[in-house]
């Protein structure tokens, strides 16, 4: 299993509107083949500045092939939707993780 994590720093004054948009965005992401589920986590530590809200969205994906297909065919459009609506009022950092046995 692969995890696709998107860490967000959002201007506090748009946080409510952004969360509503994010719920719709996540549903659209979950319609992408290979995306299994998602969870939204509020980042507690390190603490956000008073004018920011920090969220982390973690998608579970059925492998690198599905994630690569998303990157090649859908990611640009999905990312542009957020930028078109919120411009520079948020920042996103992404990373990919994979579950691995300890032994």
* pLDDT reported for residue 103: 82
| Secondary structure (DSSP) of 18-37 | HHHHHHHHHHHHTTSTTEEE
Residue 103 located in a structural domain: no
Domain extent, residue 11, equals 2-98
Q: Which residues of the chain are modeled with pLDDT < 70?
A: none
Is residue 31 a part of any domain in this protein? yes
Whole-number Å distance between alpha carbons of 78 and 12: 22
**Residue 17 forms part of a structural domain:** yes
Please indicate, yes or no, whether the overall pTM of this predicted structure exceeds 0.85: yes
Give the CATH number for residue 78. Answer: 3.30.70.100
Domain count of the fold of the chain:
1
Query: In the prediction, which pLDDT does 101 show?
Result: 87
Whether residue 46 has a cis bond before it, omega within 30° of 0: yes
Instruction: Specify the pLDDT at position 36.
Output: 98
State the pairing for strand pair 35-42/90-98. unpaired
Res 19: pLDDT: 97
């Amino acid at each position: 299993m692969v995890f696709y994590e998107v860490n967000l720093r959002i201007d506090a004054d748009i946080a409510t509107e952004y969360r509503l948009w994010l719920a719709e965005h996540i549903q659209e992401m979950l319609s992408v083949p290979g995306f299994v589920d998602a969870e939204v986590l509020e980042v507690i530590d390190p603490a956000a500045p008073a004018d920011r809200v920090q969220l982390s969205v973690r998608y579970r994906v059925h492998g690198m092939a599905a994630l690569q297909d998303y990157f090649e065919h859908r990611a640009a459009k999905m990312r542009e939707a957020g930028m078109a609506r919120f411009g520079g009022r948020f920042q996103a950092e992404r990373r990919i993780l994979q579950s691995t046995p300890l032994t």
